[in-house]
Structure 1
């Protein structure tokens, strides 16, 4: 009989500080602000005869690398229907929202492939990047991956991938 287990990863290095604003409608958004985000990842799969489900070291390193890449940046959503983004001649970003023009240096910005900068979208983007096409998950016998992203104690969003269909 197959035995499954869940390995949970929530290390000190799995965090980042970033700025953002949430867009609530075509005319209402938050002011610019930031959070100290934390990330939690759980992978579930079958334990082999050797007592090992998978070498989760590379996955842990991928999470830590993404956190480092996102640390001390400002998120802008690429897919927002209410925010228009442009780059100027120097590569810096201009964001247009409800008659406002916001300017950001390119070095400070992370463009997020998301409709908004919310915990829900951060968890999804993180998770989709980790899963990729699913081949690595299948190789490591991972059948389920859960990513949680928090903006502070007690405030999480969860994204789940189920490799069984």
Structure 2
């Protein structure tokens, strides 16, 4: 009989501070601001005969590495239908929104493969990077992965992959 379990990861190092603005329409966006984000990951799968689900150390390290890479950066959405990004000759960014031209130094910016910079999109980008093509999940018998991203206490978005066991 197969046994399943869920490992939950929410370590002190699984956090980052970043700036952004949310785009609500072609004419309305938030002002630039920032949050202290936290990340939570839960993996569910079959427990082996040796009494463990998987060596989740590499997965935990991937989360921490991503948090460090995103720390102290400003997020811009690379797939927005309302915001157009250009790079100038020095590699810095110009963002065009509703007649506004915003300037950002390249060193300060992370362009996300996202339509908007929201908790929903941050959780998805995080989760898709962790899952990749799914081969590592299958190898480690992980059948379900859940990623939560919070912008503060009590405000989370959840992204899920796979099926519960």
Unaligned runs of 5+ in 2: none
Superposition CA RMSD, Å: 0.8
Write out aligned runs for 1:32-51 (5 A): 32-51=32-51
Distance in 2 separating the partners of 1:146 and 1:161: 7
Note if 1:150 corresponds to 2:150: yes
Structure 1 ranges of 4+ moved more than 6 A: none
**What is the distance in 2 between the residues matched to 1:65 and 1:163?**
26
Matched residue of 2:25: which SS? coil
How far did 1:153 drift? 0.2
Task: Give 1:97's aligned residue.
Answer: 97
Aligned residues: 164
Where does residue 58 of structure 1 map in the other structure? 58
Q: Give the equivalent residue in structure 2 for 1:134.
A: 134
Q: Determine the structure 2 residue equivalent to 1:75.
A: 75
Q: Could you tell me the TM-score, scaled by structure 2's length?
A: 0.98
Contact kept? 1:134, 1:163, Cα under 8 Å: no
TM-score norm. by structure 1 comes to: 0.98
Render the CA deviation track for 1:134-164: whole Å, top value 9, x for unaligned: 0000000000000000000000000000068
Secondary structure in structure 1 of the residue aligned to 2:126: helix
